[in-house]
Amino acid sequence: MLPVDFAGIRVAAERITGIAHRTPVLTSRLLNELTHAEVFIKAEHLQRTGSFKIRGAYNTITSLEPEVRARGVVAFSSGNHAQAVAHSAQLHGIEAMIVMPDDAPAAKISATKAYGAEIVTYNRRREAAREGIATKLAFERGLTLIHPYDDPRVIAGQGTCALELFEQVGRLDILLVCAGGGGLTAGCAVAAHHLSPACQVYAVEPEAGDDIKQSVAAGRIIEIAVPETIADGQMTTSPGQHTFAIISQLVADVLLVSDDEILNAMDWAFRYLNQVLEPSGASAFAALLARRVEVAGRRVGLIFSGGNIDPARFIELFAAR
């Protein structure tokens, strides 16, 4: 038995209706010609709070018992989950504390504060694990920990992204999904397995942060050092118990992309699609452009998972190429 089923994704879809946007699907004649495929892009970078994360965060907080929810929530995140939890808490009128690394993008820290959350920073390379800090705060203040990926309710919420995509475009042969802790990949894999069983789902990680690929190859969870990558949303060190269980069963393969390939994908999206992506949000697209999997003649879905990058950082990344 998997920790999340399709019924849970349907329930999550009902909970987030009217809160999460039903994001558009983008297509491009040029991209189709380049790949010799039909490509359908789920534009989650246009989602509320700038990424898919609102889906899982809002579903989880809404599912809490009222008296538990009223005490508030705590989360740990480098940015996108932080914003999603902060905004979801704001919508529920409850307290939110967010544990964030001190090197998180300034735009993500300021956006999280703007949603009314209290920020607690730490040095991700020197201090105790971020989850330990958040767990301690939860115990001391009576808050509920909203995990960024390893919670069935979070995974189910993220799975609504693929549910919508299949409703919007029908059958897919391939689905490319960025993977950090694996919540989006796991949820989308469950939805795809139910709605289009022949669809092959691929997780995409940065080369430097290949904890999921190593874990799948070993048949057990492998923990790596904090990866050095521009994809700050994918600087995880290991998949979760729940996400690993789903990914190891339902995902066809884990693909790796370099930072330069991610930058190329960001550049392509900006030049030819007029879309601004953060590095983590472009990794699935990078795998497509780098031809990590054969897509010719296929119907291909992929997710632009986030667009939270400030102009200065965007310019800095391309100036360094």
Active site residues: 53, 78, 205, 209, 211, 305
Cβ burial of 184 (10 Å; 0-12, 13-18, 19+) is buried
User: Cα–Cα distance between 44 and 308 in angstroms, integer?
Assistant: 11
Q: Is residue 205 a contact partner of residue 212, using CB atoms and an 8 Å limit?
A: yes
Which residues, 6+ apart, have CB-to-CB distance to 69 below 8 Å? 61, 92, 94, 144
| H helix intervals, the chain | 6-16, 29-35, 53-63, 66-69, 80-92, 106-114, 130-141, 152-169, 183-195, 211-218, 241-250, 259-273, 279-289, 311-319
CA–CA separation, 89 and 11 (whole Å): 20
Amino acid (one-letter) located at 174: I
Q: What are phi and psi of 38, to 5 degrees?
A: -100, 115
Of 181, 154, 180, 160, nearest to 280 (Cα)? 180
Do the strands 38-43 and 73-76 form a parallel or antiparallel pair, or are they unpaired? unpaired
User: Contact at 8 Å (CB) between 15 and 34?
Assistant: no
The DSSP result for 251-278, as a single string, is: -SEEEEE-HHHHHHHHHHHHHHH-----
